[in-house]
Amino acid sequence: MLPKAIDEVADEELEQALSDHLEETREHVRRVERAFLAAGAEPAASRTEVLAPQERDVKEPTLAALAQAGDAARIEHVELALYDVVIGLAEGEAAKLLEQNRKDEAQALAVLERQAKRLRAVLPR
Ligand SMILES: [Fe+2]
């Protein structure tokens, strides 16, 4: 999802923020895999529609970027909620790894909220 959003976004600052978070996300996957191993469980991939990007046909570039920032922020909120659940179930090293990811997700959300605020400020009226 992030690579597609990065390809489609027309705003350079938002693109950089999303690219930075893509790198973090790759590390998150490695941490989740280590957390599963630490918990003695087998990781398995799955998809959820909640995280799917919205299809839009917005012509105005700043408004399109604002919508993309909103989509990305929505995904971060969902990720935070999911981490809150699994951290509550995890123990020891697994919990520590997942808490590192949750901290990164909270920072990513803060970055996206700043991007959305910046975009709203320059949105044509
Ligand atoms: Fe994220």
29 belongs to a structural domain: yes
Predicted confidence at residue 18, as pLDDT, reads 97
pLDDT for residue 50: 77
Residue 114's CATH number: 1.20.1260.10
d(CA 114, CA 47): 28
Q: How remote is the CA of residue 104 from the centroid of ligand 1, in Å?
A: 8
- How many distinct structural domains can be found in the chain? 1
- Mean of the pLDDT values across residues 73-97? 96
101 occurs within a structural domain: yes
3-state secondary structure of 106: helix
Residue 51 lies in a domain: no
Domain encompassing residue 115: 2-43+56-122
State the pLDDT confidence band at 3, using cuts at 50, 70 and 90: confident
Ligand 1 centroid distance, CA of 41 (Å): 23
- The per-residue pLDDT for 51 is 76
Give a yes or no: residue 14 inside a domain.
Answer: yes
Do the domain assignments include residue 7? yes
Give the model confidence (pLDDT) of 20-72 as tens digits. Answer: 999 999 999 999 999 999 999 998 888 877 777 778 888 999 999 999 999 99
User: Under 8 Å CB-to-CB from 76, ≥6 apart: which residues?
Assistant: 105, 106, 108, 109, 112
In a domain, 50, yes or no: no
**Residue 78 included in any domain:** yes
For ligand 1, the distance from its centroid to the CA atom of residue 18, given in whole angstroms, is: 9
